[in-house]
Amino acid sequence: MRTFAIVNFGCQMNEYESEKFREVFYDFGLSEVSNIEEADIVLFNSCAVREKSEQKLISSVGYARSLYEKFGRPYVIVTGCVASIREKRIKEVARDSLLVLSKGYELIYERVEELRNELSKYLKQSSSERISEGGGVFAYVPVIFGCNSFCTYCIVPATKGREKSRPLEDIIEEVKNLVNSGVKEIVLLGQNINHYGYDFGNKNGFIELLEAVSRVPNLKRLRYLTPHPAYFTKELIKRMRQVEILMPHFHLPVQSGSNKILSLMKREYTQEQYLGIIETIKEEFPEAAITTDIIVGFPQETDRDFLETVELVKTVRFDKSFIAAYSKRPNTPAATMDGQIDTKVKKERLNYLLKVQNEISLEKNKTYIGKTYDVLVENVRENIAFGRIPQDKLVIFDNSSEVRPGDLVNVLITDADFIHLKGKR
């Protein structure tokens, strides 16, 4: 039996896409292996948002090619964002091992068909059906592709294209099928998800989408990623309060606390406007966890600009912040801006802000101790169970009562660190 491996770089959207590619390999009768050394074909689903991910992709392709030169396998398939901007480099590195290079401009369904067509040239399609292993506990469902915001640091509009919403009926059908297979929690995905429906002429499309998905029978939990603060209104937040299975977790990327830097980033909101949104969230969802994304060391960021970001983090008291040092991305305005920040300064700012956030995260997590929460069990390893509370915090607890993935159980929180919670039944 021929084998395949999938190496996924990047975001949840890439994870969703990789699952679709996986289904094609299964349709051709291939068996999945966990490492590329054992694979006949390896698919790399790439991400270009961070320079480090791009470097990892090129390095991995080079390693796969070295295996191919020694053993005659694996053939290499590259898709995703890096394929859109580094086609020449990938071809140079992959050489004769390259089977398919699929750019990221096309929607996932178009790339799936491309993969199916290419594989049919090399493989005889198996008539045997894939053995169903049942649904997972949660699943990602993309609802809008591309982005129209054109933030000056971001490569996504160039690699994913303009925004294109999926028809609501297609989304609902996919959610129903997932729930029928055993999925308990759905995470809706979009680079700028609260723009869902704008291309249909419906500015209420996102909240109507949440309401429609929440009505799917037997769906227990609903989440979404990632909204843009510039289009996250107070009216939207208040209407969200009425969606019963919508989980109280808001991931709202701020990127910077400095109005000057926000303007240079072309983020379309001010610090004051962002804080106003946070205030409404805390009023409507007092139990909510709030997380964010932050970039430090953006071009022209002074010490004062950085300290404004630090102060915003302390004011909001995010449950978690995903903090990264700015890195140049090709064909983005920020890459050629004056005032590029020294690498050493970026690292110092990154480490300082991480320390501040970790202290806040620990304090926030400790407030859960002594309280009982519904935990959706995602995984069980021997006598330890892993799951998440509605606020999307990971809980680790003893599995002496033998719970299974997909169970919703009450767990008393007994301890916490800045990353996760510990509990018992």
Residue pair 188/246 in contact (Cβ under 8 Å)? The answer is: no
Residue predicted with more confidence, 159 or 107: 159
CA-based nearest residue to 410, from 386, 374, 357? 374
Quote the tokens at residue 403: 């719970």
Mean pLDDT of 5-23: 83
What percentage of the chain carries pLDDT values higher than 70? Answer: 95
CA-based R_g, the chain, Å = 22
Domain ranges across the chain: 3-122, 138-366, 372-424
- Report, as an integer, the average pLDDT of 382-403: 89
Decide if 138-366 and 372-424 have a common fold.
no
- In this prediction, residues 265-275 reach a mean pLDDT of 97
Query: To the nearest whole number, what is the mean pLDDT of the chain?
Result: 90
Decide: helix, strand or coil at residue 239: helix
pLDDT for residue 361 is more than 90: yes
User: What percentage of residues in the chain have a pLDDT greater than 90?
Assistant: 67
**185 CB burial (10 A radius; 0-12, 13-18, 19+):** buried
pLDDT surpassing 80 at residue 106: no
**The pLDDT of residue 25:** 87
Q: With a cut of 90, say whether residue 138 has pLDDT above it.
A: no
Which of these CATH numbers, 3.50.50.60, 3.20.20.370, 3.40.50.300, 3.80.30.20, describes 138-366?
3.80.30.20
d(CA 160, CA 107): 8
pLDDT tens digits along 295-317: 999 999 999 999 999 999 999 99
User: pLDDT, tens digit, for every residue of 281-293?
Assistant: 999 999 999 999 9
| pLDDT surpassing 60 at residue 133 | no
pLDDT, one tens digit per residue, over 154-190 is 988 877 788 999 999 999 999 999 999 999 999 999 9
Where b means 16+ CB within 10 Å and e means fewer, 76-115 reads bbbbbbbbbbbeeebeebbeebbbbbbbbebbbeebbebb
Q: Give the three-state DSSP class for 105.
A: coil
Fold classified for 372-424: OB fold (Dihydrolipoamide Acetyltransferase, E2P) (2.40.50)
| Displacement of CA 140 from its chain's centroid (Å) | 9
Q: Residue 126: what pLDDT?
A: 38
The reported pTM is 0.78
Q: How confident is the model at residue 390 (pLDDT cuts 50, 70, 90)?
A: very high
CA distance 224 to 232: 13
Indicate whether 197 pLDDT > 90. yes
Fold classified for 3-122 = Rossmann fold (3.40.50)
pLDDT tens digit sequence for 199-242: 999 999 999 999 999 999 999 999 999 999 999 999 999 999 99
Considering only residues 343 and 19, tell me which one the structure prediction assigns the higher pLDDT.
343
- Residue 354, both tokens: 């991480």
